[in-house]
């Protein structure tokens, strides 16, 4: 069988497995087993055992369950209420007023959760009822939340950046630093869009509350101090070089427990629920990574990545043309799979092409995350859409339509990152990361 036919056969088998409802990890393992059994003479059992153990026994991976647990603890705390109370007094005279709470609140929670779905659920639980009670337009309430919650994938500590770093052997600390400017760029784009929309539709935004005295505004903002200290402690220790991402994650869990105790939300039930939630999520991700590692090795034995890299090289595609094709590919794939599965599923085949085209694998990690963010708000399997549908009870297509302007803003951010790669590389290079 030719390498092209072999590639198509394995691709079809993967979609058959995924389409039949088999877990992503089992699908990856299954395709790897079929590829090695049919197209190589390598010892299947030995390769599988050593690869899965090697993928699981990674110190970099230790940061993952800790950051997930930190997000789970804060998800059950009073964090979203504190953020609404602390941010809202400062936003009542900005065009769009309290709609910006969704954007800034999501940006802040993204910096302590690392998960897009957790950001949507946590901020949405508090902001949706409050904004509806004040008669803000449903479309903008849903759109700002759907778009801003995707920041959970990009603003560090991002779970998906840890997964990409482990899968491609890139520095996780450097990826975290690289995500800062693109994350802030998205916050600015979202705020700018809401301001312009509000100026064009002045009657759609309810009148602001009376201006609070400056002392009262600062008094209300005191509730933001604990979470800002938490962000500073976790992210600052990584950026300053004091701690590795894994060490910082352990500090984050300890500080989250202290914060949860301080706000009165830490009990035996919430502690165990957070621990169990983190265990389930971490095991799922680790299992998918193990399956992806075996598929990567299996593909190496079959020679498919080398063949595809040579094929791409022979096509003489410019880096921009390749990135355009990969953007469409990732968005389509993201319509059917969650972001982590998209990343681990494609790295084994995509990375040789990317390196062949002379694209920096570190920069490409941030590029991939922004594209995966876009897939979080595209039907039929946009995870953020499902979370917001559950919070609002609205039809998923209406939620998707509300999120469309923010999808386009993500596309603009992606274009800016492609045109100006230094948006990703400037901070890591400056800090010697």
What is the per-residue pLDDT across 99-149, written as a single tens digit (0 to 9) for each?
888 888 888 888 777 777 778 877 887 788 888 888 889 899 999 998 888
Residues 347-366, mean pLDDT to the nearest whole number: 84
Give the residue-averaged pLDDT of 208-233.
75
How many alpha carbons fall within 13 Å on the CB side of residue 82? 21
The tokens describing 343, both together, are 């990343």
Give pLDDT tens digits for 161-175.
Answer: 888 888 888 888 899
- Separation between Cα atoms, residue 89 and residue 70, nearest integer Å: 28
pTM here is: 0.78
Return all residues near 342 (Cβ < 8 A) that are at least 6 apart: 330, 333, 334, 372, 375
Q: Report the phi/psi class of residue 157: left, alpha or beta, with left for phi > 0 and alpha for psi in -120 to 50.
A: beta
pLDDT of residue 367: 93
Q: Give the whole-angstrom CA distance, residue 106 versus residue 127.
A: 10
pLDDT at 186: 93
Place of tokens 């599965």: 341
Report residue 36 as tokens.
Answer: 């090695």
d(CA 328, CA 159): 23
Averaged over 223-237, what is the pLDDT?
A: 81
Which run of H or of E encompasses 237? Answer: helix 225-239
pLDDT for 55: 74
User: Each residue of 1-13: pLDDT tens digit?
Assistant: 566 777 788 878 8
Are the CB atoms for 302 and 40 separated by under 8 Å? yes
pLDDT attached to residue 374 = 86
- Per-residue pLDDT at 180 exceeds 80: yes
User: At residue 210, does pLDDT exceed 70?
Assistant: no
Instruction: For residue 60, name the pLDDT band (cuts at 50, 70, 90).
Output: low
Confidence check: pLDDT of 339 > 80: no
């Amino acid at each position: 069988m030719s390498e092209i036919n072999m590639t198509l056969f394995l691709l079809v088998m993967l979609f058959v497995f995924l389409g039949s409802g088999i877990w992503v990890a089992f699908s990856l393992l299954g395709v790897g087993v079929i590829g090695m059994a049919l197209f190589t003479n390598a010892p299947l059992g030995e390769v599988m055992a050593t690869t899965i153990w090697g993928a699981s026994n990674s110190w970099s991976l230790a940061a993952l369950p800790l950051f997930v647990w930190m997000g789970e603890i804060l998800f059950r705390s009073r964090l979203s209420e504190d953020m609404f109370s602390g941010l809202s007094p400062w936003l009542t005279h900005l065009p769009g007023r309290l709609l910006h709470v969704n954007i800034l609140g999501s940006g802040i929670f993204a910096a302590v959760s690392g998960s897009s779905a957790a950001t949507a659920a946590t901020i949405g639980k508090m902001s949706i009822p409050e904004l509806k009670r004040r008669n803000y337009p449903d479309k903008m309430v849903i759109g700002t939340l759907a778009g801003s919650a995707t920041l959970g994938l990009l603003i560090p500590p991002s779970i998906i950046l840890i997964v990409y770093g482990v899968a491609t052997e890139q520095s996780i600390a450097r990826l975290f630093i690289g995500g800062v400017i693109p994350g802030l760029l998205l916050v600015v784009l979202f705020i700018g869009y809401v301001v312009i929309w509000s100026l064009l539709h002045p009657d759609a935004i309810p009148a602001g509350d009376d201006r609070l005295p400056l002392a009262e505004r600062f008094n209300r903002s005191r509730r933001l101090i604990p979470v800002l200290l938490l962000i500073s402690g976790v992210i600052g220790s990584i950026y300053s070089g004091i701690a590795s991402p894994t060490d910082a994650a352990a500090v984050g869990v300890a500080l989250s427990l202290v914060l949860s105790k301080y706000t009165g939300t830490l009990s035996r039930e919430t502690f165990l629920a957070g621990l169990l939630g983190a265990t389930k999520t971490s095991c799922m991700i680790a299992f998918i990574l193990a399956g992806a590692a075996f598929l990567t090795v299996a593909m190496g034995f079959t020679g498919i990545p080398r063949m595809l890299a040579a094929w791409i090289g022979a096509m003489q595609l410019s880096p921009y043309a390749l990135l355009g094709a990969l953007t469409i590919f990732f968005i389509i794939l993201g319509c059917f799979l969650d972001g982590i599965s998209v990343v681990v599923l494609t790295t084994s085949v995509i990375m040789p092409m990317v390196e062949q085209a002379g694209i920096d694998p570190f920069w490409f990690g941030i590029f991939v995350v922004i594209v995966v963010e876009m897939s979080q708000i595209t039907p039929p399997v946009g995870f953020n859409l499902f979370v917001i549908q559950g919070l609002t009870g609205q039809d998923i297509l209406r939620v998707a339509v509300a999120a469309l302007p923010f999808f386009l803003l993500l596309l603009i951010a992606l274009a800016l990152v492609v045109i100006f790669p230094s948006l990703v590389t400037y901070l890591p290079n400056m800090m010697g990361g």
